[in-house]
Amino acid sequence: MTDEEKFRFDLTGFLVRPAIITKDEVAEIVDQLDRIRRDPESLPPEHRAVPGGASSLLIDHPKVIDVLHQIIGPDIRMESTFSVWRMKGQEHGGLHGGGPGQADPIFGYRVRNGRIHAGMVRVVFELTDVSKDDGGTHFIVGSHKANFPMHPDHMSLEDGKRSPYLMTYECPAGSAIFFTENLCHAGPVWQRETPRIAILNAYAHLATHWHRLRIPPEVLNGLPREKQAYFREPWIADFRTSPATHNTIDRFLEKDEPPINTDHQP
Ligand SMILES: O=C(O)CCC(=O)C(=O)O
Ligand SMILES: [Fe+2]
């Protein structure tokens, strides 16, 4: 992460890394998402949901992990993922989040001694080109550090009523957009004839866990071990051993234990 990226992420609460995924990789992931929608049987069971199959590339992409280590910390987990195939007229929803949550261990955004300690961070992978007016994710910049609750005058997505601090991005397919969940954001109505195809992953500090995992067990178990490591159990130190054992990726790779249990009914 460059100093300029760090400055921009801290100032606004979001950061775009353009085209970090190659065109071929994008095409493979889009093909997987298309099959999941229209013909899941054409995929092996362990590829029938994200983050399995082609989309598993995104779990530990070096240009993503690099940023996450600098804005969350050295020990991170991936704790949620979903994909969108958003048609014209569809939306995720209006502005939400933001305001004074800095002390919250799950969502809070803090900077101390030159280091960023963000709570949960969302990474949006845009798998098509996105232009400014298409309706990519929108942000009220700076709201991750706001000291007062979000003011209603800044919460509209309607033309003419938008906050001057409402910002979005344009980017080529294969870009990653990082934002702290403490930032007020929206997934507005998609305006383009062709769909918005995107994968949205969430990462957090190794010791926190907001989303109960709902990745199908066969998908999680089908991942290579080094990618399963991002779904290891959320704890730091095991004092049953002396010295305490730390829940590092290396330890997970040496052991035979499964990633976090997904064997539950929804
Ligand atoms: O659909 C979007 O652009 C935003 C989704 C969202 O609100 C989130 O990932 O937290
Ligand atoms: Fe959201």
Give, for all 266 residues of the chain, the pLDDT tens digit: 999 999 999 999 999 999 999 999 999 999 999 999 999 999 999 999 999 999 999 999 999 999 999 999 999 999 999 999 999 999 999 999 998 988 899 999 999 999 999 999 999 999 999 999 999 999 999 999 999 999 999 999 999 999 999 999 999 999 999 999 999 999 999 999 999 999 999 999 999 999 988 999 999 999 999 999 999 999 999 999 999 999 999 999 998 877 876 665 44
**Residue 173 φ/ψ region, left for φ over 0, alpha for ψ in the -120 to 50 degree band, beta for the rest:** beta
Q: What is the pLDDT of residue 263?
A: 61
The CATH number that domain 3-254 falls under is: 2.60.120.620
What are the residue ranges spanned by the domains of the chain?
3-254
Q: What is the pLDDT of residue 141?
A: 98
Q: What is the pLDDT of residue 265?
A: 47
Q: What is the pLDDT of residue 259?
A: 83
Q: What is the pLDDT of residue 264?
A: 53
- What is the 81 CA–ligand 1 centroid distance (Å)? 11
Probe residue for ligand 1, chosen from 78, 85, 92 as the CB with the greatest number of ligand atoms within 8 Å:
92
Report pLDDT digits (tens) over 120-162.
999 999 999 999 999 999 999 999 999 999 999 999 999 999 9
Q: What is the pLDDT of residue 260?
A: 77
Q: First-to-last CA distance in the chain?
A: 38
Ligand 1 binding residues, C-beta < 6 A: 92, 122, 137, 185, 187, 200
What is the number of the ligand closest to the CA of 123? 1
- What is the 108 CA–ligand 2 centroid distance (Å)? 14
- What is the 130 CA–ligand 1 centroid distance (Å)? 15
Q: Which atom of ligand 1 is nearest to the CA of 185?
A: 7
Report pLDDT digits (tens) over 33-57.
999 999 999 999 999 999 999 999 9
Q: What 3 state SS string does 172-226 have?
A: CCCEEEEEECCCCEEECCCCCCCCEEEEEEEEEECCCCCCCCCCCHHHHHCCCHH
Instruction: Say if residues 55 and 210 touch (Cβ distance below 8 Å).
Output: no
Whether omega before 188 lies within 30 degrees of 0, making that bond cis, reads no
Probe residue for ligand 1, chosen from 167, 196, 200 as the CB with the greatest number of ligand atoms within 8 Å:
200
Report the nearest-CA residue for atom 5 of ligand 1.
187
